[in-house]
């Protein structure tokens, strides 16, 4: 089974753009009694004449902040009634060369579904989900799940809407301090409850080895035409383009100047040249900064049914990190590059590793753009 170059996407997919509170677009935990009485209220937009029926509109206003590979946001929603909706995958936003098994696609879609479940509970609803697997990839809009809401003002709440909307990945430099064992154990327990293993490496020599493997994998992958050509269509080299399209990998997400971003994506052959490679590798490592911990997740993943549960696990881990004030930055190529993945599984002595990430404390990271609720709706 081929593990292609995919989670590079998430490592920069939701890091870009605004950090101003006015850009947060988070929806607070409204009184569910009040909301339920207003369920007949609908809204429309000049961008899309599809009517938004409550409570779906309020739920989706928060759910759009779910992370996705390359910030592709592959979800489309058809609202059928105040209690039912259909969730689809937009085929044009898939990555068939990089994600040949669709495991990462399903992981991202299930994070979106689990996000809706978490948010719906805050509004006083339970969510029932029926998945449509295996995927019918011959369709342009691929059915993924039927979603049904049931009013339950006592629905178990886990993470607030404000926390959900504030969640993000941080590519900023991390602070020179360690994460308490209690916080790491909290992440381990969430993974275990969902059928996965999370562990953390804190040995400096092992960390440097992992970072070296990651940088080599990034350089090699950018010289793989399948990887390069597919990710290139999601790169946004100017702020204007990022703001206009509201998806993809915005330049500010990458933490570098537009010129650096463009040269790195178009002149990747320089990474192969012996005269330049050591210099670029040194600069890349310097940009990563101080790293006290690298974590990984392992467990069932490489088939469609297993990938569903992995999405539940990942979004809850990400939200728990946000609650703990811990930042995370996936080192995607350590999983998706075949050579690097093999080295990691040997070092960790674990099979089926599907995410490797650095974690620590950082200042609030910039935000990425997101498609609006109207833009993800279909009639």
352 plus 340 within the same structural domain = yes
> Which is more confident, 26 or 73?
73
208-235: pLDDT as tens digits = 999 999 999 999 988 988 888 998 999 9
What string of H, E and C letters represents the secondary structure of 148-193? EEEECCCCCCCCCHHHHHHCCCCCCCCCCCCCCHHHHHHHHHHHHH
Q: pLDDT tens digit string along 153-200?
A: 998 899 999 999 999 888 888 999 999 999 999 999 999 999 999 999
The verdict on 162 and 181 lying in the same domain is no
Residue pLDDT, tens place only, 359-376: 999 998 888 999 999 999
Residue pair 226/241 in contact (Cβ under 8 Å)? The answer is no
Are 154 and 175 in the same domain? Answer: no
**Would residue 264 count as lying in a domain?**
yes
**Assigned token pair, 99:** 């994600």
How many structural domains comprise the chain?
Answer: 2
Q: How far is Cα 153 from Cα 309, in angstroms, rounded to an integer?
A: 26
| Same domain, residue pair 135 and 227 | no
Identify the CA nearest to 330 among candidates 108, 79, 140. 108
Same structural domain for residues 237 and 287? yes
With respect to residue 100, please indicate whether it lies within any of the assigned structural domains: yes
Alpha-carbon distance 186 to 20, whole Å? 30
| CB contact at 8 A, 379 and 31 | no
pLDDT above 90 for 121: yes
Q: Could you give the CA distance from residue 331 to residue 328 in angstroms, rounded to a whole number?
A: 10
The stretches of the chain forming alpha helices (DSSP H) are: 8-13, 32-37, 56-63, 103-122, 161-166, 181-193, 204-221, 225-232, 239-245, 258-266, 277-288, 304-324, 333-336, 338-348, 373-376
- The pLDDT assigned to 148 comes to 98
Query: Do both 137 and 259 map to the same domain?
Result: no
In a domain, 13, yes or no: no
Q: Which residue is it, tokens 């080599």?
A: 216
Q: pLDDT tens digits, residue range 244-268?
A: 999 998 888 777 788 888 888 888 8
| CATH number for position 224 | 3.40.109.10
Q: Based on the fold, state whether residues 230 and 131 are members of the same structural domain.
A: no
Q: Which long-range contacts (CB under 8 A, 24 or more apart) does 138-141 make?
A: 139/91, 140/90, 140/91, 140/92, 141/76, 141/88, 141/89, 141/90, 141/91, 141/378
Residue 25 has pLDDT above 80, yes or no: no
Q: Is the peptide bond before 55 cis (omega within 30 degrees of 0)?
A: yes
Using the predicted structure, report yes or no on whether residue 281 has a pLDDT greater than 50: yes
- State both tokens at 305: 């049914």
Identify the three-state secondary structure at position 356: strand
Q: Hey, which of 35-39, 48-52, 116-120, 332-336 has the most confident mean pLDDT?
A: 116-120
Q: Residues 141, 180: one domain?
A: no
What pLDDT does residue 356 have? 97
The reply to whether 15 falls in a domain is no
Q: Are residues 148 and 226 in the same domain?
A: no
| Domain that residue 224 falls in | 171-360
């Amino acid at each position: 089974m081929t593990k292609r170059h995919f989670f590079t996407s998430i490592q920069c997919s939701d890091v870009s753009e605004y950090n101003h509170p006015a850009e947060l677009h988070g929806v607070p935990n409204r009184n569910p009694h009040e909301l339920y009485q207003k369920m007949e209220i609908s809204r429309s937009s000049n961008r899309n004449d599809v009517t938004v029926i409550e409570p779906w509109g309020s739920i989706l206003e928060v759910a759009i902040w779910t992370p996705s590979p390359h910030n592709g946001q592959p979800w489309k929603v058809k609202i059928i009634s105040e209690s039912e909706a259909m969730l689809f995958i937009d085929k044009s936003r898939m990555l068939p060369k990089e994600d040949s098994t669709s495991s990462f696609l399903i992981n991202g879609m299930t994070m979106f579904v689990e996000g809706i479940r978490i948010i719906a509970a805050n509004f006083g609803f339970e969510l029932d989900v029926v998945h449509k697997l295996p995927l019918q990839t011959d369709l342009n809009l691929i059915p993924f799940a039927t979603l049904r809401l049931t009013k339950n003002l006592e629905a178990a709440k886990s993470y607030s809407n404000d926390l959900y909307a504030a969640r993000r990945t941080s590519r900023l430099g991390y602070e020179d301090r360690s994460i308490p064992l209690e916080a790491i154990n909290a992440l381990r327990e969430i993974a275990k409850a969902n059928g996965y293993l999370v562990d953390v490496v804190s040995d400096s020599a092992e960390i440097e080895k992992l970072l070296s493997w990651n940088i080599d994998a990034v350089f090699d992958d950018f010289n793989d035409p399948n990887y390069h050509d597919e990710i290139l269509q999601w790169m946004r080299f100017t702020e204007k383009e990022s703001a206009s399209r509201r998806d993809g990998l915005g330049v500010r997400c990458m933490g570098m100047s537009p010129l650096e971003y463009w040269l790195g994506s178009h002149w990747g052959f320089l990474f192969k040249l012996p005269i330049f490679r050591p210099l670029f590798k040194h600069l890349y490592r310097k940009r990563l900064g101080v790293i006290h911990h690298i974590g990984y997740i392992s467990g069932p993943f490489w088939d469609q049914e297993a990938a569903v549960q992995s999405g539940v696990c990942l979004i809850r881990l990400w939200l728990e990190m946000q609650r703990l004030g811990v930042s995370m930055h996936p080192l995607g190529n350590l999983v998706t590059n075949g050579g690097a993945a093999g080295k990691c599984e040997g070092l960790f002595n674990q099979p089926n590793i599907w995410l490797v990430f650095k974690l620590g404390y950082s200042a609030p990271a910039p935000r990425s753009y997101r498609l609006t609720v109207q833009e993800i709706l279909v009639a």
